[in-house]
């Protein structure tokens, strides 16, 4: 008599339960990590914009009149205006009158 080889239904259910528990732990952490990475990339964009505003002032002797005039200049932004990775429709705002800075926006 030959013994049948294979998995029983109980063994398969245990494996499925273990995989489900691991997925329940991993998926929220991956999602939170992606959100944090996008927020940090947005903050990096703000720092980059402010650095280029400073460079413009040091080079030209005056502050840029608008953020668009700076980001359209290929010497400062060859790839154009950075886009917020959190919300692509939210534009960065430049205070051309007092601080001459781009302020971080809330997400």
What residue ranges do the domains of the chain occupy? 13-107
pLDDT single digits (tens) 6-42: 788 999 999 999 999 999 998 888 888 889 999 999 9
**Would you say the C-alpha torsion 72, 76, 80, 85 has a positive or negative sign?**
negative
How far CA 19 is from CA of 22, 23, 63, in Å, comes to 5, 6, 57
45 has a pLDDT exceeding 90:
yes
Contacts of 67 (CB under 8 A, 6+ apart): 49, 81, 92, 93, 94, 96, 102
How far CA 15 is from CA of 12, 19, 20, 105, in Å, comes to 5, 6, 9, 45
Band of the pLDDT at 81, cuts 50, 70, 90? very high
Query: pTM, whole model, 2 decimals?
Result: 0.73
Residue 1 has a pLDDT of 60
């Amino acid at each position: 008599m030959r013994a049948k080889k294979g998995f029983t239904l109980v063994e398969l259910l245990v494996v499925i339960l273990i995989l489900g528990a691991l997925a329940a732990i991993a998926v929220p952490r991956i999602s939170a990590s992606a959100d944090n990475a996008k927020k940090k990339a947005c903050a990096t964009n703000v720092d980059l914009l402010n650095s280029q505003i400073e460079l413009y002032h040091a080079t030209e002797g005056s502050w840029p009149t608008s953020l668009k005039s700076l980001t359209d200049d290929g010497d400062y932004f060859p790839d154009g205006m950075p886009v917020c990775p959190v919300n692509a429709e939210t534009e960065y705002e430049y205070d051309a009158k007092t601080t001459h800075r781009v302020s971080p926006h809330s997400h």
